[in-house]
Amino acid sequence: MSIWKARDGRNFFRTFLLVTFIFFLWGFALSLSDLLNKHFQDTFGMTRTYSAFVQCAVLGTYFFVAFPAGRFISRFGYRAGFLAGLTLTALGGLLFLPAGTLMEFWFFLLALAVVSSGLCFLEITASPYLILLGEVKDAPRRMTLAHSCNALGWMIGPLLGTTFIFNRDGTPSDVSTPYLVLGIVALLAAAAFALARMDYVKPAAEEHFDLIGSNHVPMGEEVPLFRHRNFIFALVALGLYVGAQTGVNAFFINYAVETAYFHKSFAATLLGIGGAGMFMLGRLVGTLLMRRISAEVLLVGGGIISMLCVLTAILMPGLEGSWALYGVYFFESTMFPTIFALALRGVGRHVNTASSLLVMTFVGGAIAPLTMGAIADRTGSIASAFIVVLACFFGVTVYGLYALVRAARRD
């Protein structure tokens, strides 16, 4: 059966395309923030540690917004979640116009936090919506395919942003324009969601099924969410993964400039074309491989190879280490949708609350860059800071092994 067909035979391909655009949009928005660390270091003369407050504003916001967003979606439904997220994203993007005029770091952080609030709504809405829309057994494939468009957004964001933020010709940098584009596109997308005929899915709090399979679970047999060991372990693993991914993204330009001596605009282009390109390619390949290889096996394999790539970047700083980071983008690419989908297996009607808690772990993307910046400033070596990323991938791999053993016992 097609991955965009429901159990009752309905084809939801058009709805899938519409929701997939949301994945593209938040990939685009998040990738723009990865350009800002080096930009603010140069513009305001700040340390790498201080510039990491960009990631605190972006991903730290998820921690505070995720649970209220989940409650909102449970009460008002998924369409309302999409509209709220797109409206907040648009507002945050438009706030960059006065931020660019004032040129105050705190105002930029405020605008980023508003954008991030919108992205948090979209994240919590889109992921469970896609899982519930079709056959549950196809959820990892469906999520990975949708996240391939997220990777496309990660590619286009730096390419557009570099044109304005890092200029070789000496003209003043312009942070506002890429975010104004984001704001306008988010408004147009909100109009599309308001007018589109979407396939109806009940808020997950009304669903009483076991996400391991398609069997209905009587409400009285539900297990409290925090007694699901798989979910708790996945909660930690997802936070570690987001920390690893965000840490690489935040300091890739610093690494390429300081160890391989690339120009910052060229390093940003490498991040967009190379890093995000490998990320998207990895998700497309992962979607195909999941037809024959279990998601758990891919998670373990990707974790081990990612650790080897990061270790190379630490021990061989320079051109070799930069290429090794490309490998990280490829092999980490399927981790997020895989962990997210595996975490929700068996949580039954708690799926909305579980999704909110999973998105709250994005705070790992605020903690890891701060830690990396502090290590780099203290040691004078950006390569040494990637020990944080190595530790995060180790934790993800351990969860993959746990999930693999759990799947083998279930079979």
Residues in CB range of 130: below 8 A, 6 or more apart: 16, 19, 139, 142, 143, 146
| 152 phi and psi angles, rounded to 5 deg | -65, -40
- What pLDDT does residue 239 have? 96
Upper half-sphere CA count for residue 247 (Cβ side, 13 Å): 33
- What pLDDT does residue 2 have? 61
Average pLDDT, consecutive stretches of 10 residues, N- to C-terminus, the chain (411 residues): 59 81 90 84 87 89 88 88 96 94 91 95 85 70 77 81 69 80 95 81 46 38 75 95 94 91 82 82 85 90 97 95 93 90 79 81 91 94 96 97 88 57
Scanning 34-104, the segments in alpha helix (DSSP H) are 36-44, 48-51, 53-76, 78-102
371/377 Cα distance (integer angstroms) = 10
- What pLDDT does residue 136 have? 66
Q: Is the dihedral of CA 291, 292, 295, 300 positive or negative?
A: negative
Question: Amino acid identity, residue 220?
Answer: G
What residues are paired with 216 via a beta bridge? 209
